[in-house]
Amino acid sequence: MAPTSTPQTPFGRVLTAMVTPFTADGALDLDGAQRLAAHLVDAGNDGLIVNGTTGESPTTSDAEKSNLVRAIVEAVGDRAHVVAGVGTNDTRHSIELARQAQQAGAHGLLTVTPYYNKPPQEGLLRHFTAIADATELPVMLYDIPGRSGVPINTETIVRLAEHPRIVANKDAKGDLGRASWTIARSGLPWYSGDDMLNLPLLSVGAVGFVSVVGHVVAPELRAMLDAYVSGDVHKATEIHQKLLPVFTGMFRTQGVITTKAALALQGLPGGPLRLPLVELTPDETAQLKIDLAAGGVQL
């Protein structure tokens, strides 16, 4: 049984884009993934993104993706929304992954803008529509032009919002003005996809976060959101400012790299990375410790 949701918060409010734990020899660590998922939900997440960029989806096989979704649903699917990343730059492959995720028990789909091949807006419209048509699962768009090379324009999002199964957008565009207009015009529930902008995006209408730093500060993110929603903007701002060293430190290099290093420092499952990602250097690890400590993270 999937957790309850509302049209305003279809996937919950605080979601972490979860890393994919690997064993020492680089194989998928399903036991570690289940333990990490349970830890994240206990810490305050009411949703998890599985097989996203932070889950090293470019280097996991389709079978690994399916097995991971199934394992996470088994571990926490009655307590948290399990949203499967299925976006690729090949619409047919994305449809296959979407159907596979539904069979594995996912509660929703995350669909990133097709990357590298730079389709026009009509191509984006048809791509996302085809994925949404392929299953019965609700879909969260993922707009991140810094990785994909192409933004989802406001008009395109407005048109996509008419689809009954396209129910949210994850915004990593870094443009508060454009977000303001698109939230107002589309009516789509909006999730911050940029931790530094979590609080600012709430102020223009976002309903929650899809976070990377949620691996280490989920209780603080929950407290910040709860404070803002209850009208205590001063408290929310205090928490935001306290977390600034974490927001900065976790993105001094690629986020998966720092996240797995942070999990290792806390004795949590993560394991090695798959190439082309590489581990932090000793100097980078020392800096990460400083950044996390400055933000109040216990190591």
Largest separation between any pair of C-alpha atoms in the chain = 50
Is 142 among the catalytic positions?
Answer: yes
Catalytic residue among 142, 191, 228, 260: 142
Catalytic residue among 65, 115, 170, 228: 170
Which residues is 209 bridged to in the sheet? Answer: 14, 192
* Binding site as annotated, residues: 54, 210
Cα separation, 53 vs 50, in Å, equals: 9
For residue 1, with 0-12 CB atoms within 10 Å meaning exposed, 13-18 middle and 19 or more buried, which class applies? Answer: exposed
* Binding site as annotated, residues for pyruvate: 54, 210
Catalytic residues: 142, 170
